A and B are shown apart, each in its own frame.
Chain A
Amino acid sequence: NAGVTQTPKFQVLKTGQSMTLQCAQDMNHNSMYWYRQDPGMGLRLIYYSASEGTTDKGEVPNGYNVSRLNKREFSLRLESAAPSQTSVYFCASSGPKGWREAFFGQGTRLTVV
C-alpha cells in the first residue's frame, strides 16, 4: 500500500512564482490535512478537509489555497510564493478512527528564494 503520496519531494521557487503541491491517499479516508513545519518547530495546520467537498482553514492559512479534488486528492496551492513560505509541507489523512489511524506523507521540501 502506498498510503499518502506527496509530489514533488523537493522544489525551489522564486519569489512571486506559483505552484501546487499534490497529495493523494489510497486508504479511502474521508479527512485530509496540510501542515507546514519550519526548522526546530512543531507542525502547524494550514488547511483541512473533513470530507469530500469541504475545506476549512487551520492555524496558518494565509497565502495558501486548497482544493479537495475528490476523495483521494487534496492539493495545496501557493499563488505568489514568499520566502516566509520556505518550509517542509506534510499532507495527512485520517480514517473512521480519526487520529488513531492517521497517516502522513513523506513531505515536500520547499525553498523560496
Chain B
Amino acid sequence: DAKTTQPTSMDCAEGRAANLPCNHSTISGNEYVYWYRQIHSQGPQYIIHGLKNNETNEMASLIITEDRKSSTLILPHATLRDTAVYYCIVRVLMYSGGGADGLTFGKGTHLIIQP
C-alpha cells in the first residue's frame, strides 16, 4: 500500500470549513484514498473514499488532485464534535466475502475545532 503524509495537528474555528491535506505521491492506479476519523477513545469511523473523481457525502467532501498524488478532506461547517484524529489511508479496494485484509492506520492529523 502507498504511504501517506499528513500534518500532525491542525486547528479550525467552529463553523468554518476544515481542510485536511494528505500527500500520497506513490499511489498506484488501482489504489483508493480512504478517510477515517477517531473521536477520543472511540473506535475509528469511516468518512469517505475515492479513486480519482471528487466525492461528497453527508459527512464530508473529498478532493483528489488530477495527478492523484494528494487529496484534501473537507468538513464544510466544522463543529466541536468534529474534533478528532483523521486518518488518510491509501489501498486497493477490497471486498469481503472473497477475502479482505486490514487497513493500515498511520498517526493521522489531530484536528481541533476551536469555539
Contact = CB atoms under 8 A, between A and B. Distances in A.
Interface in B43-100: 43-46, 49, 87, 91, 93-100
Contacts of A103: 43, 46
A43 B105 contact: yes
B100 to A, nearest CB: 4
B49 A100 contact: yes
Interface stretch (A12-20, A27-35, A76-84): A27-35
B46 A102 contact: yes
Interface size class of B (residues with CB under 8 A): 20 to 34
Name the prevailing secondary structure of the B interface residues: loop
A96 B98 CA distance: 9
B36 to A, nearest CB: 8
A113 to B, nearest CB: 21
Contacts of A104: 42-45
B95 A97 contact: yes
Contacts of B98: 50
Interface residues of A, number: 35
A21 to B, nearest CB: 14
Given A29-B96, A99-B49, 20 more contacts: A30-B96, A31-B96, A42-B87, A43-B44, A50-B96, A59-B104, A88-B41, A92-B43, A92-B44, A94-B96, A96-B97, A98-B93, A98-B96, A99-B94, A99-B100, A101-B46, A103-B43, A104-B45, A107-B42, A107-B43
18 contacts: A30-B100, A31-B96, A35-B105, A42-B104, A42-B105, A43-B105, A44-B105, A45-B102, A45-B104, A50-B98, A51-B97, A58-B102, A92-B44, A94-B96, A98-B93, A99-B103, A102-B46, A104-B44
